[in-house]
Structure 1
């Protein structure tokens, strides 16, 4: 085994590369160590367990998604602000096999996300949301996107390659004629993700406006 000193960046870069090859279930600290030509205990100098590694992987995914804040055009309309954020998040997560599963439930390391969160919340507050409602609005749009991509990547673990378990014809035959609507739903459930994401995003934004702004008391 090599004795070259590792750093966190090497480990995370290797883990993200292997994620695309193996998926989340196949990604282990032992496999990463083998790829780096070191003994597995060498990784524990940097990460106590797999969850700590996933936290750092998610943080690095976020950095790559958003890029440097300088030079990004300012978007003050809160609807477009949230919509662009959700589209960018989905696009970034789809760049990694099981990307949404890795991202979900992790804790960012450091403060890289703080300027972007501040920007999103500021746009909402300036539009008339209370700080609490701004947080709820942001989280709702964020959670919709994460959940949507988890389901999307379950059906298409590799871009353009649908998992055969989600074949709509076989699914319809398995459900049978007693439940015609449920049987036919597979055609829509397992295709057209781009259009369905945009449709769902419109629903989320309309709901946020209705419950966040329209429901706010006068002067709020």
Structure 2
């Protein structure tokens, strides 16, 4: 009877509950501190009980990716717009993905570490491609568009300027004002153009998904440039060199 009461208190354990608890725990303590043992403690069960629902830590991480994908706004194209709404739909989807990664700061690290293309990941990519195809893009153009989008479909990009390491580019630790001034002076002498661009503007505190200066403005700036470029190529009926060669061989 006592055992039944304890099971009722904990609630019935299932895969979704395990994954949701893992996401919440990673939000709280970070992905590096997440372990099967700690997750079991969070759920009030022994770690071995979790293996009935996820085979191992890697499957747990894949499942956590599933959970965050489910939080991304579908941002489907309005049929009444006749395909012209693709640009807005793509933009909303990307910015929704970015907002999800800002809520779950560990997610970028996990996404970059995944080697298996799970059904959830493949489904997300497939639906992303579908927005361009529904907008009238050729398969050829869509292929190259997806390459250009890269990790932006997940709401992040690799950073060019790493502000987190300071002007020394990775010296570690806090530098004194004198040491910092010396580094700036050396940078100005050796790499004046990099220093001028890297220090051209300040960036909002807490707006970075990863490290560096990829704040919301910079992200949206690059995204809009890409979308405008895709729109121009689409209107021009652009075809890649490879596709033209294939068409010539087939004719």
What is the DSSP-based 3-state SS (H/G/I as helix, E as strand, rest coil) of the residue aligned with 2:185? coil
Decide whether aligned partners of structure 1 residues 198 and 111 sit closer, same or farther in structure 2, where only a CA change above 3 A counts: closer
In 2, distance between residues paired with 1:80 and 1:195? 17
Q: TM-score, normalised by structure 1?
A: 0.70
> Is 1:66 the equivalent of 2:89?
no
What is the DSSP-based 3-state SS (H/G/I as helix, E as strand, rest coil) of the residue aligned with 2:51? helix
Greater CA drift, 81-90 or 189-198: 189-198
What is the DSSP-based 3-state SS (H/G/I as helix, E as strand, rest coil) of the residue aligned with 1:129? coil
Q: Which residue of 1 aligns with 2:224?
A: 202
Q: Which residue of 2 aligns with 1:216?
A: 239
- Alignment deviations for residues 24-74 of structure 1 (CA, whole Å, 9 cap, x no partner): 11111111011112221211122122111111111111112236x8xx662
Q: Which residue of 2 aligns with 1:79?
A: 87
In 1, distance between residues paired with 2:120 and 2:215? 32
Decide whether aligned partners of structure 1 residues 175 and 125 sit closer, same or farther in structure 2, where only a CA change above 3 A counts: same
CA contact (8 A) 1:137 1:212 kept: no
In 2, distance between residues paired with 1:193 and 1:19? 23
Q: TM-score, normalised by structure 2?
A: 0.63
RMSD of Structure 2 on Structure 1 (CA):
4.1
TM-fit CA distance, 1:183: 4.3
Q: Which residue of 2 aligns with 1:50?
A: 57
Paired residues for 1:82-121 under 5 Å: 82-106=90-114, 107=116, 109-110=118-119, 114=123, 117=125, 119-121=127-129
Structure 2 unmatched runs, 5+: 165-171, 204-211
Radius of gyration: which is bigger? Answer: 2
What is the DSSP-based 3-state SS (H/G/I as helix, E as strand, rest coil) of the residue aligned with 1:45? coil
In 1, distance between residues paired with 2:61 and 2:20? 12
CA contact (8 A) 2:141 2:234 kept: yes
CA contact (8 A) 1:121 1:138 kept: yes
Greater CA drift, 142-151 or 48-57: 142-151
In 1, distance between residues paired with 2:145 and 2:118? 23
Structure 1 unmatched runs, 5+: 157-163
Say which of 215, 231, 237 aligns to 1:193: 215
In 1, distance between residues paired with 2:179 and 2:87? 37
In 1, distance between residues paired with 2:223 and 2:174? 24
In 1, distance between residues paired with 2:117 and 2:221? 29
What is the DSSP-based 3-state SS (H/G/I as helix, E as strand, rest coil) of the residue aligned with 1:66? coil
Give the paired residue count. Answer: 206
